[in-house]
Amino acid sequence: MPETTAGGSPEGASQSGETTAEAAKPSLASKLRKAFQTSPSQKDAVKTRRRFVGIFTGGFLLTNFLMFLRFFFPRTIFEPKRMFRVGTPTDYGIGVDTKFQKAQRIWVVRSTDRLFVIYARCTHLGCTPDWKESESKFKCPCHGSGYDPEGINYEGPAPRPMDRAKVELDAEGQIVVDTSVLFKEEKGKTTQFNDAGAYIVV
């Protein structure tokens, strides 16, 4: 009679036990799959990371692009025009006129026989003095230099009078000022204040 394992021979039982244990063992493929599998929360983290990297890269590229564009728009300092009109001599009475101080950094001064333009820059260190009508003088707020109504220094550290800008009358009788041409005076030494272009006869 043929031998059967049914009935639970000890040999058969051990064989079937091994097979079950082997089957229960995860294969290499399933191990790898498991290792590379991502949970939903991990997926979210990856998405967030990707978004962050995307924003960062986009920002970086945009910044570089804007910097590149900047080359086509060079930095320019817009200074006031150096040559401009300030009206006719009859627009000015005797004394100091301050209406162009802010826009053009000048004062128009008219005496009994001359009209000239003082460039509003202290000859000490370059501050802009103030015209003190009540004291009839220019006073520098930086270190206290004082100038008379013609811009001649008489107190403080300023070494010389304030410069005068070139003035001339155009064909229409308008006063044209050019602050790129300045006339200077070294106190007690030389003066350019009587040179042609330093004043207009009125």
Residues that bind ligand FES (CB under 6 A): 122, 124-127, 140, 142-145, 156-158
Rounded to a whole number of angstroms, the minimum distance from the CB of residue 195 to ligand FES is: 25
Query: Could you tell me where the beta strands, DSSP code E, fall in 3-136?
Result: 83-85, 95-97, 106-110, 114-119, 130-132
**Neighbour order of strands in the sheet with 153-155:** 130-132, 137-139, 146-147, 153-155
CA 146 to chain centre: 34
Nearer to ligand FES by Cβ, of 104 and 145: the residue is 145
Rounded to a whole number of angstroms, the minimum distance from the CB of residue 119 to ligand FES is: 13
Distance CA 199, CA 196 (A): 7
Nearer to ligand FES by Cβ, of 104 and 153: the residue is 153
Cα angle 84, 134, 97 (rounded to 5 degrees) comes to 10
Rounded to a whole number of angstroms, the minimum distance from the CB of residue 109 to ligand FES is: 19
Nearer to ligand FES by Cβ, of 101 and 145: the residue is 145
User: Which are the contacts of 110, defined by CB distance < 8 A and separation ≥ 6?
Assistant: 89, 92, 93, 94, 95, 97, 202
Distance CA 142, CA 2 (A): 124
Rounded to a whole number of angstroms, the minimum distance from the CB of residue 120 to ligand FES is: 11
Rounded to a whole number of angstroms, the minimum distance from the CB of residue 192 to ligand FES is: 21
Nearer to ligand FES by Cβ, of 122 and 198: the residue is 122
Nearer to ligand FES by Cβ, of 142 and 182: the residue is 142
CA distances (Å), origin 62, targets 72, 75, 121: 16, 20, 44
